[in-house]
Structure 1
């Protein structure tokens, strides 16, 4: 009887060991981001982690840089730059091939929407987009600028930047 029990245990152990590891499939496989987004502070902003500006400065500017990391060329890019339009007002934008317009569809859906139609190969960047703003209200305020990009049916990519309007003396 002991021999039979040991034989059954060995057979069971062998059957577990024989299962090939290649047959194991991960439960979720995520698509890698098609692009990276970088926000760079310009005139009117200071700070490294969180940007800061002061009311009364005529203009703030920041640059949005987007690099293709899809592994193949991409053409066409849709961009949404989200920020509180009751605190920051877009005075202008510049960048080769960008077409932008203001949107104000309520909290979380306000800012600037832009399109770009350049063909960009893998590991190259779309032309930079420089956005000029001015402070609307003279109040201390904390929030973020968020950028969402889409192209070629890929999932959206996102980057955010904390900022504050500093009224301290």
Structure 2
């Protein structure tokens, strides 16, 4: 009886510490890189606000799912009343404004290039103009393709209006 109880306890313990089933791995990685108009460390970008200030950043999405992917959709979210998109560039990118309320403002961009495993889609460069209001927020990028769950990357930023 003692042996049976000991085995039952061991089995219960092994079931309790077994790792949970893993979720689907991300299909891609997303990286944001400051290009111009931003300063500060990579973890926290800063810029000066005002009507003439312009900032650029790159968005790079790399396919890591293990097979070819096509039909990339990227949503770049930021406070549109504080950062205004003044342009974008990148081979094959098509972008438009999105204004669906707080948390759903920014631009959506699509890219139809076929990308093989461990290759990146063409770089998307976004140009913005910072407003004249002190702001501390984030730029968030969500990328989707091929029915996979969206992958996310975020970048904290500050618009400095001090004199």
What TM-score do the two structures reach when normalised by structure 2?
A: 0.88
Structure 2: gaps (5+ residues): none
How far has the Cα of 1:37 moved from its partner? 0.5
Structure 1: gaps (5+ residues): 1-7
- Corresponding residue of 1:63: 58
Of 34, 43, 67, the residue aligned with 2:36 is 43
Q: Deviations over 1:50-85 (max 9, x none)?
A: 100102343110000111110111111011000011
- Corresponding residue of 1:3: none
1:75 aligns with 2:70: yes
How far has the Cα of 1:145 moved from its partner? 0.3
- Corresponding residue of 2:145: 151
Asked which structure has the greater CA Rg, the reply is: 1
Q: Which 4+ stretches in 1 moved above 2 angstroms?
A: 8-19, 24-29
Matched residue pairs, number? Answer: 159
- Corresponding residue of 2:79: 84
- Corresponding residue of 1:103: 98
How far has the Cα of 1:156 moved from its partner? 0.8
- 1:120 partner SS: coil
1:34 aligns with 2:34: no
Q: For residues 9 and 100 of structure 2, what CA distance do their matches in structure 1 show?
A: 58
How far has the Cα of 1:138 moved from its partner? 1.2
- 1:45 partner SS: coil
Q: For residues 15 and 106 of structure 1, what CA distance do their matches in structure 2 show?
A: 55
Q: For residues 146 and 11 of structure 1, what CA distance do their matches in structure 2 show?
A: 55
How far has the Cα of 1:25 moved from its partner? 7.1
Of 142, 157, 163, the residue aligned with 1:163 is 157
Q: Deviations over 1:80-120 (max 9, x none)?
A: 00001101111110000111000111101100001111111
